Amino acid sequence: MCSETGGIRRFYDPHMEDAQLRATGRCLCGAVTFEVRGLLRDVVLCHCVECRRWSGTYGAFAAAANDDLVVYGDALRWIESPASNRHARRAFCSECGSSLFWQAADAERTGIAAGTLDPPTGLQRAAHIYTHDAPDWDALPEDGLPRDPDSSHVPRWT
Ligand SMILES: [Zn+2]
Ligand SMILES: [Zn+2]
């Protein structure tokens, strides 16, 4: 049985059966679990206001192609990200409140809150974005990562 919820599968899709499992993850309570059956993008750290309000701190997102992300559980809820300049929406677990996914309108990939992935992920931190929105307590580390890179900067996919 396969159905669609805004481009994300809620139930197992037999077409995904042969695709190699790359990663698994879940919310705090386990009512929402997911699998990634394709490449994952390295983790981008987002200091924007909306990630901060949504997660309580800065955002840390891996990403996967929408077609590679399989989500299980009826507790997943999507909300509009109210002031997003990319008309994004965000998904969370309605049972425990865990922040899970981020998706720009008409995007072909979905951001995955990195902390929801089961380690080891094989991922690295790739960049800081929206650094001008970082609040006073969020001092950016001298980690050598690109800050607000232009579109020529493409994080690694593994
Ligand atoms: Zn949950
Ligand atoms: Zn953000």
* Model confidence pLDDT, tens digit, residues 54-109: 999 999 999 999 999 999 999 999 999 888 888 899 999 999 999 999 999 989 99
Cα angle value 85/89/94 (rounded, 5°): 150
**Residue 4 reports pLDDT greater than 50:** no
Using CA atoms, how far apart are residues 84 and 136, in angstroms rounded to an integer?
22
Give residue limits of the domains in the chain. 14-133
- From the CA of 131, how far away is ligand 2's center (Å)? 10
Question: How many alpha carbons lie under 13 Å from residue 91 in its C-beta half-sphere?
Answer: 28
Using CA atoms, how far apart are residues 103 and 110, in angstroms rounded to an integer?
5
- From the CA of 88, how far away is ligand 2's center (Å)? 10
**Residue 23 reports pLDDT greater than 80:** yes
- From the CA of 56, how far away is ligand 1's center (Å)? 16
Q: Which of 157, 64, 53 is nearest to 108 (CA)?
A: 64
- From the CA of 1, how far away is ligand 2's center (Å)? 34
Class in CATH terms, 14-133: mainly beta
- From the CA of 70, how far away is ligand 2's center (Å)? 23
**Residue 2 reports pLDDT greater than 50:** no
Rg of the chain over Cα atoms, rounded to whole angstroms, equals: 15
pTM, to two decimals: 0.88
